[in-house]
Amino acid sequence: MTFHDYSITFLRLSLLCFLSPAASSADYIPSTLDGPFVPVTVPLDTSLRGKAIDLADTDPRVRRHVTGFEPEQISLSLSSDYDSIWVSWITGEFQIGKNVKPLDPTSIDSIVQFGTLRHSLSHEAKGTSLVYSQLYPFDGLLNYTSGIIHHVRITGLKPSTVYYYRCGDPSRHAMSKIHHFRTMPVSSPSSYPSRIAVVGDLGLTYNTTDTVSHLLQNSPDLVLLIGDVSYANLYLTNGTSSDCYSCSFSDTPIHETYQPRWDYWGRFMETLTSKVPLMVVEGNHEIELQAENKTFEAYKSRFAFPFKESGSSSKLYYSFNAGGIHFVMLGAYIAFEKPGEQYEWLKKDLAKFDRSVTPWLVVSWHPPWYSTYTAHYREAECMKEAMEELLYSYGTDIVFNGHVHAYERTNRVYNYELDPCGPVYIVVGDGGNREKMAIEHADEPGKCPDPLTTPDPAMGGEFCGWNFTTTGKFCWDQQPEYSALRESSFGHGILEVKNETWALWTWYRNQDSSSKVGDQIYIVREPDRCHGYNRLVDHC
């Protein structure tokens, strides 16, 4: 290395130290600049419950507490930028039985009254409503039809501003109580949401209640839910359930669901979702096949997505901005191959992505590409083969995944090799659902799965895992060097972007106090080292 090279390196590190929020901290927090880190496996705490118990339908937290057509299950989601937001809610009661008659969504208006003063909600926005059904053309199975689901997009909002609102139909004297939300900051390199909560595979168990309670104590401005929401598909239509559907109900003519679990979930979550925007991406538990081969009906109906605002033709993938962060939410259970529709949309979205406005690029989808647990090991290899190069070439900073019911954070990695310009991949499939916790690792003796058993039929069922380890094996013989930390515990994470190059990631375990940290690291962008645009190939 020449003196000139040393000078450039010194100046770069000096600048990073100047920008570092950790530079003056008494308690040193490591950063990705200190990496790559030696892989660590936190020993399993056998006192933790490897399973979780669902909240019963008699639990007061999931019961219906409104009457008539008063709104319930109120939730917020972001539009494409700070100046608009979606408000969603449900009126009327669901029906379940052999013969169900859908409610008329035109029978009640979808109105949000809002303003910056609690006592003066001087603005009004109108939206649309719908009803969905989950139908099973088999004897003995029960059908379901939802209450009336409302979606209203409020526009013309100011950044970083608290708005008060209530929703419903004033002509029917069916309005909610007054709630409030804070809009996202304007998109710029100097403004960010204070705290972004990240959680996956949530479900509705007693562990879920711990996760959400801890999450609320961290006062997030935004929540990312990385797939697997209500786990209604662990139930038969008569309400009978199991931790493992295929183990207990292998002879059912179709994979059944118990759709009221969605309503229970919406009621329980309203304390959070009525004041903090929730951005969701679908998981495998949202597929929910029904009559006429329809899928994802509950998921696509109950949540509002900024898919049109972001140029997508599908609710299963979209993008949005939150301050100086550009988020991309990808669908793993819809065609992802190139040059398919989702892939082409992703190319266009990334081509429009402007680092001078949103320096950070954060991408999420449900099944991980980088996980060392035997559960779902290399299951999403075909998606990785199709999209990894594109995401790398645009300098993706952080990737969030779920699906594996444990926590894992990688070193910066690309194509299974350490790469200082690769993303940090974080698996947070530890929200608390009732399925078993992932505890076994593919690098343990005798735990490597048969490669041909790893493809997921829900993702096409094709085998793409030809990229073996350097020793020619499908699994590593020890924790791979790309895996920085892994632990089998329930919990959630908080992302705090400090400036255009430094972000603090903190993971909290449910078994700890809300102030105790399970994992913490500064993720540092190095734009002078990793230029971020089309590093590999011309995608045109």
- At 186, is the pLDDT very low, low, confident or very high (cuts 50, 70, 90)? very high
What is residue 42's DSSP assignment?
A: P
Structure-block tokens of residue 480: 């791979």
Confidence of residue 92 (pLDDT cuts 50, 70, 90): very high
81: CB partners within 8 A, 6+ apart:
184, 187, 309, 320, 321
Question: Tell me, what's the pLDDT at 184?
Answer: 98
Percent of residues, the chain, with pLDDT higher than 70: 92
For residue 538, the model assigns a pLDDT of 43
Asked if residue 382 lies in contact with residue 462, where contact means CB atoms within 8 angstroms, the answer is yes
Which token pair is 341? 């529709």
Averaged pLDDT, 164-181: 97
Model confidence at 22, pLDDT cuts 50, 70, 90, reads low
Name the β-bridge partners of 269.
none
C-alpha to C-alpha distance for 234 and 256, rounded to whole angstroms: 8
In the predicted structure, residue 19 carries a pLDDT above the cut 70:
no
| Catalytically annotated residues | 376
The residue type at 106: T
Give the pLDDT of residue 456: 95
Question: What is the pLDDT, as a whole number, of residue 51?
Answer: 55
**Per-residue pLDDT tens for 229-255?**
999 999 999 999 999 999 999 999 999
Tell me what pLDDT residue 78 has: 98
* Number of Cβ atoms within 10 Å of the Cβ of 339: 8
CA–CA gap between residue 66 and residue 1 (Å, rounded): 71
pLDDT digits (tens, 9 = 90+) for 394-426: 999 999 999 999 999 999 999 999 999 999 999
373 CB-near residues (< 8 Å, 6+ apart): 404, 406, 408, 438, 439, 440, 441, 442, 486
Q: What pLDDT, in 10s, does the model give residues 489-518? A: 999 999 999 999 999 999 999 988 777 899
User: What CATH class does 32-524 carry?
Assistant: alpha beta
* pLDDT (tens digit per residue) in 421-445: 999 999 999 999 999 899 999 999 9
Note the pTM of the prediction, 2 decimals: 0.94
Domain ranges of the chain: 32-524
Output the CA torsion 429→499→330→336 (10° steps): -120
Chain Cα centroid distance, residue 503 = 18
Do residues 45 and 489 lie in contact, with contact meaning Cβ atoms separated by under 8 Å? yes
Q: What is the pLDDT of residue 16?
A: 46
CA distance 237 to 252: 11
